[in-house]
Amino acid sequence: FAATKAPSISTMAAEQENAGNLKQKLAKLFQLSLEATVPGEPDIEPLVAACTAKFGDYQCNNAMGLWSKIKGRPGIEFRGPPAVGQAIMKNLPQSEMIESCSVAGPGFVNVVLSKNWMAKNIQKMLVDGIETWAPKLSIKRAVVDFSSPNIAKEMHVGHLRSTIIGDTLASMLEFSNVEVLRRNHVGDWGTQFGMLIEFLFEKFPNFEDVNETAIGDLQAFYKESKQRFDVDAEFKDRAQKAVVRLQSGEQMYRKAWAQICEISRREFDQVYQRLGVHLEEKGESFYNPYIPGVIEALTNQGLVEESKGARVIFIEGINIPLIVVKSDGGYNYASTDMTALWYRLTEEKAEWIIYVTDVGQQQHFDMFFKAAKRAGWLPADDRQYPKASHVGFGLVLGEDGKRFRTRSTEVVRLADLLDEAKTRSKAALIERGKAAEWTEEELEQTAEAVGYGAVKYADLKNNRLTNYTFDFDQMLNDKGNTAVYLLYAHARICSIIRKSGKDTGELKKTGKIVLDHADERALGLHLLQFAEVVEEACTNLLPNVLCEYLYNLSENYTRFYSNCQVVGSAEETSRLLLCEATAVVMRKCFFLLGIKPVYKI
Ligand code: ARG
């Protein structure tokens, strides 16, 4: 297949190149070409994808589809897909972006990008900032509902996953200039409070004066009270009455409830602080005052029906209904979620509402999203906004392949997990002789960044729907696809730049990037693809896509660095700028993944 210079037919190309990421820019060019190839043909969306083939960098895949649409029509002179491909290539507007094109196989149009154009755009990013590569989304405000542990119940590894994944999704949206309401939908309301409060009143007759340390481990009390509840009928009765007393606003019960929530909140906050995650609590109880109104509105719409004493919404295709008022007249998880969704759409004017929980809750979300569609709150078509999405994730498994638990307790305490990650990464740093080189503070900070980063990355790099095994040895390995490897790689790039003695802030303005060596070019292309990858990770709600990109970036860099001498070479300036661009993109990836970069190792 002979490569030809991209021929010129149109002149609108220059404008087309200014907006969007690489893929979108090319798609716009191909759009013009497709329109010229079959004039008047509606709805042909350009199918452009990065390709691994040796023919080019990107490929347009429209020829076959277009051929099957138009063959046999009067006036169509093409003889099969390859000819359509040839025409698409010929009609492609001339563009500075494109070095050459060729048609392969059944009509694939391959594009080789211009290395000068690539170099210029990387340099532009260095000067104007990585924000210029941020995705452009069509929405202004989103809610990410994540973490959301339950008060007095355990905050378990599932909540850790939700916290880590939710934080990343929120950061990616924020990077895309979307205002994100980061919501902690804490389980702070429910029947568990009845037994817990009754139990604590018994244990601490002067409950009001009781402080945090006396209460200590709320989880343990919760467990004890649950055991009582299950065997002691008198206690059970009292606990059930306590729920009513609490819900009707009896002061003593309210106060105890608030106290318990506060203690839990402080515990959760410690975890968030260590993880560097910021969110705003609007727990289940926040929506209580709005529930009756929402249920009434749904009832007036004729959506709520009576079933076995409860009030329910039937959903097409699902044989159990969504219960919105229990048979005892109380509200439940679904009543709150329907109301919270209403609140987020109408009061907070969010256009995309994203819920991060384990896949076990899939049906719950499926049901109330469908109920919201029936109510007309959400459009039936999921491609339209406002939109609600459930981001499900799989289990964390222990070495035995069963649900992750520590030896001593039934559940894993998150604080212990983080402690261990830090201790282990500190030990590894000391083994590398860093105790002698660094201050204690540097050692601590690096151990934290690496340890917590490792926990996060080990989670995020997997497709969230699959289960994964929690394994300290694996996640703290400095080789392979781990945060440790990536953080060290970044630190090494920084040290190369430092040791060169050059000021990259100056160089990026005066120097020039060239991508003559194949490994320079490959690295450059990968850097430029950052924009489309974040967009994909963000719109498909898949953090692992960004992790994969980051790992490949590091691999591309390593190839470049082993084959292209940087310091002391004739291309030193350009290569230092490539180092700098790699470090900038890596740092943005770390930031989006909630990982703190380290600068020396
Ligand atoms: N508290 C729930 C749990 O621990 C998660 C809440 C998720 N958010 C929501 N709006 N339902 O399982």
Domain boundaries, the chain: 13-113, 192-274, 414-592
Q: Residue 356 CA: which ligand 1 atom is closest?
A: 7
1 pLDDT higher than 50: no
* Structure tokens, 175: 């990077």
Q: Name the closest-CA residue to atom 6, ligand 1.
A: 148
* Structure tokens, 10: 């149109």
Q: How far is the CA of 224 from the centre of ligand 1 (A)?
A: 23
The pLDDT tens digits for 129-186 are 999 999 999 999 999 999 999 987 767 888 999 999 999 999 999 999 999 999 999 9
More confident residue, 74 or 507: 507
Cis amide linkage into residue 386, ω under 30° from 0: yes
In angstroms, the CA 601 to CA 598 distance is 8
CATH topology of domain 13-113: Gyrase A; domain 2 (3.30.1360)
* Structure tokens, 351: 């256009």
Say yes or no: CB of residue 352 within 6 Å of ligand 1: no
Say yes or no: CB of residue 337 within 6 Å of ligand 1: yes
Q: Per-residue pLDDT averaged across 266-289, rounded?
A: 94
Residues in the chain: 601
From 185, 188, 344, mutation site for ligand 1 pocket: most ligand atoms within 8 A of C-beta? 185
Region at 160 (left for phi over 0; alpha for psi -120 to 50; beta for the rest): alpha
> Identity (one letter) of the amino acid at 276?
G
Q: How far is the CA of 245 from the centre of ligand 1 (A)?
A: 24
The pLDDT tens digits for 278-299 are 999 999 999 999 999 999 999 9
In this structure, are strands 310-313 and 304-307 parallel, antiparallel, or unpaired?
antiparallel
The pLDDT tens digits for 210-235 are 766 655 678 788 889 999 999 999 99
Do 144 and 169 form a contact (C-beta atoms < 8 A)?
yes
Per the prediction, the chain carries an average pLDDT of 92
Q: Taking Cα atoms as reference points, which of 511, 524, 508, 512 lies closest to residue 115?
A: 524
Q: How far is the CA of 463 from the centre of ligand 1 (A)?
A: 21
In angstroms, the CA 588 to CA 530 distance is 10
- Got the DSSP string for 37-103? HSTT-------EEE--STT-SEEE--HHHHHHHHTT-TT----SHHHHHHHHHHTSPP-TTEEEEEE
Kindly state the helix (H) or strand (E) to which residue 555 belongs, with its residue range: helix 543-563
461 pLDDT higher than 50: yes
Say yes or no: CB of residue 198 within 6 Å of ligand 1: no
∠ CA 24-29-31 to the nearest 5 degrees?
A: 90
In this structure, are strands 352-358 and 387-393 parallel, antiparallel, or unpaired?
parallel
Q: How far is the CA of 145 from the centre of ligand 1 (A)?
A: 8
Q: How far is the CA of 461 from the centre of ligand 1 (A)?
A: 23
Number of neighbours of residue 52 by Cβ within 10 angstroms: 8
pLDDT of residue 398: 85
H helix and E strand count, the chain: 24, 14
Q: Taking Cα atoms as reference points, which of 120, 560, 161 lies closest to residue 357?
A: 161
* Structure tokens, 7: 């021929």
Q: Which residue has the tokens 């384990």?
A: 358
CATH topology of domain 414-592: Isoleucyl-tRNA Synthetase; Domain 1 (1.10.730)
pLDDT of residue 233: 96
User: Residue 327 to residues 43, 306, 308: CA-CA distances in angstroms?
Assistant: 52, 10, 7
The pLDDT tens digits for 405-440 are 654 455 567 888 899 999 999 999 999 999 999 999
Q: Which residue has the tokens 């499926």?
A: 366
Instruction: Determine the distance from the C-alpha atom of residue 211 to the mean position of all C-alpha atoms in its chain, rounded to a whole number.
Output: 38
Instruction: Determine the distance from the C-alpha atom of residue 314 to the mean position of all C-alpha atoms in its chain, rounded to a whole number.
Output: 32
pLDDT of residue 90: 96
| DSSP-based three-state secondary structure for 357 | strand
Say yes or no: CB of residue 225 within 6 Å of ligand 1: no
Q: Name the closest-CA residue to atom 9, ligand 1.
A: 185
Q: Taking Cα atoms as reference points, which of 232, 236, 155 lies closest to residue 188?
A: 155
The pLDDT tens digits for 363-408 are 999 999 999 999 999 999 999 999 999 999 999 998 888 877 654 4
- DSSP symbol at 301: T
Q: Per-residue pLDDT averaged across 326-345, rounded?
A: 95
In angstroms, the CA 315 to CA 310 distance is 15
Backbone phi, then psi, for 418, in 5-degree steps? -65, -40
Q: How far is the CA of 359 from the centre of ligand 1 (A)?
A: 12
In angstroms, the CA 478 to CA 458 distance is 13
Q: How far is the CA of 148 from the centre of ligand 1 (A)?
A: 5
> Identity (one letter) of the amino acid at 553?
L
Say yes or no: CB of residue 147 within 6 Å of ligand 1: no
In angstroms, the CA 46 to CA 502 distance is 44
In this structure, are strands 48-50 and 280-281 parallel, antiparallel, or unpaired?
unpaired
Q: Taking Cα atoms as reference points, which of 184, 93, 198 lies closest to residue 146?
A: 184
pLDDT of residue 123: 97
